[in-house]
Structure 1
Amino acid sequence: MLQSSRQFALLLVLSLSLAACGFHLRGPQAMAFKTIHLGMSEYSDLANDLRRQLRTTGTTEAVSTASDAEVRMIVVADNREKNILSLSSGGTVREFQLKRQFRFRVLDKAGREVMSLAEIAVTRDITYNDNIALAKEQEELILQRDMQADLVQQIMRRLAAIRIDPNAPAPAASAPTAAPAAR
């Protein structure tokens, strides 16, 4: 009985010390905007994962048309690569590197850039063996899903960091430039 009360007291002290230092689990973060247009195919896995994560914020929703959105995410590039890292002495592949690069920027409704061009690169290394090729294919699919989950989390953190200034001037219309005068 005495030992269990000591364990309870120790657990209580540890819990209070964690709460006192400001520790809390990372949860969904509130965004500075209510609606966003994702600027990618509605049917892509990445868009589905981003929409799911945006719903967890409870305040932000992905909309299907850019005109209905407060901000627009412009996807500049979404590239996947599979590079050979090492070969055996017989010339067979031993290791691959899976890489995904995602570049995007965010504009507000007026066309002002609220987040400049951001690049996120996610990589994973995978060993390869011809004797268990099917298992290695499955491992590669799992790593690709893991990379996408990591990518979604990084995009969400960058979107949460956006601060919209309602007093910022609208972008100037591009006027034709006059030709320099000849001397």
Structure 2
Amino acid sequence: MTRRPFQFILALLVTLWLAGCGFHLRGSTNLAFSTLAVQGPGGPLLIDLKRQIASTTTTRIANDPKQAQAIFTLLSDSPTQTAVAYNANGTVAQYQLRETVSFQLATPAGQMLIAPTTISQTSSLSYSTSATLAKANEADLLYRGMRQDIVNRIMFQLSTVKRAPMPAAPASAP
């Protein structure tokens, strides 16, 4: 009988602590444009970015760049794996994984909203020849995590863009 009030009080304390520390669930991101064209070399990063935009914003992905208010262009996406340490036998003991992404955001008229920008993420992967498959799976998970971090950073960049000024209409001659 005394266990139930204790659980309630504990749950209440945890809730108050979370509220007091500033914790809140990730809400939606407001973008300055209602339609966005996403283009570039296909791949998992673009798929993840489109999913993030669709699930956390009210912005609609446009298939035709001419019908979008802004055009996101993925200029490059290059994951690399570099050996950084070797063991006494001369085999690789550690890799550095790096994902480097370049992108830009422009209006259909060509006005740059975000100039070409490069974002990189790195991670270390210890390696053992006795666990090759496990290390390959670990590398895949690390790349996915880095890609998600990059998508979050791109979303932050997109959320800081202010609405592009409308071009001034030419003055009509009397």
TM-score range normalised by the length of the shorter chain: 0.7 to 0.9
- 1:61 has 2:77 as partner: no
From the superposition, tell whether residues 24 and 128 of structure 1 become closer, same or farther in structure 2 (CA, over 3 Å).
same
Cα deviation for residue 77 of structure 1 reads 2.1
Cα contact 1:51–1:61 (8 A) shared by 2:
no
- 1:136 has 2:135 as partner: yes
- 1:117 has 2:111 as partner: no
More deviation in 128-137 or 22-31?
Answer: 22-31
- What's the CA shift string for 1:97-145, capped at 9, x where partnerless? 1101111111123211111222210111101111111111111112122
Cα deviation for residue 74 of structure 1 reads 2.3
Q: Distance in 2 between the 1:138 and 1:2 partners?
A: 47
From the superposition, tell whether residues 23 and 134 of structure 1 become closer, same or farther in structure 2 (CA, over 3 Å).
closer
Cα deviation for residue 19 of structure 1 reads 4.3
Query: What's the % identity of the aligned pairs?
Result: 31
Q: Distance in 2 between the 1:120 and 1:60 partners?
A: 23
Q: Distance in 2 between the 1:159 and 1:91 partners?
A: 45
What amino acid is the match of 2:54? Answer: R
Alignment correspondent of 1:38: 38
Cα deviation for residue 76 of structure 1 reads 2.5
From the superposition, tell whether residues 70 and 23 of structure 1 become closer, same or farther in structure 2 (CA, over 3 Å).
same
From the superposition, tell whether residues 62 and 95 of structure 1 become closer, same or farther in structure 2 (CA, over 3 Å).
same
Q: Distance in 1 between the 2:149 and 2:61 partners?
A: 19
From the superposition, tell whether residues 169 and 151 of structure 1 become closer, same or farther in structure 2 (CA, over 3 Å).
farther
* Secondary structure at the counterpart of residue 164 of structure 1: coil
More deviation in 22-31 or 75-84?
Answer: 22-31
Q: Distance in 2 between the 1:52 and 1:59 partners?
A: 12
Question: Structure 1: where are the runs of 5+ without partners?
Answer: 171-183
Name the TM-score, length of structure 2 as normaliser: 0.82
Q: Distance in 1 between the 2:22 and 2:114 partners?
A: 29
* Residues matched between the structures, number: 169
Question: Structure 2: where are the runs of 5+ without partners?
Answer: 170-174
From the superposition, tell whether residues 16 and 132 of structure 1 become closer, same or farther in structure 2 (CA, over 3 Å).
closer
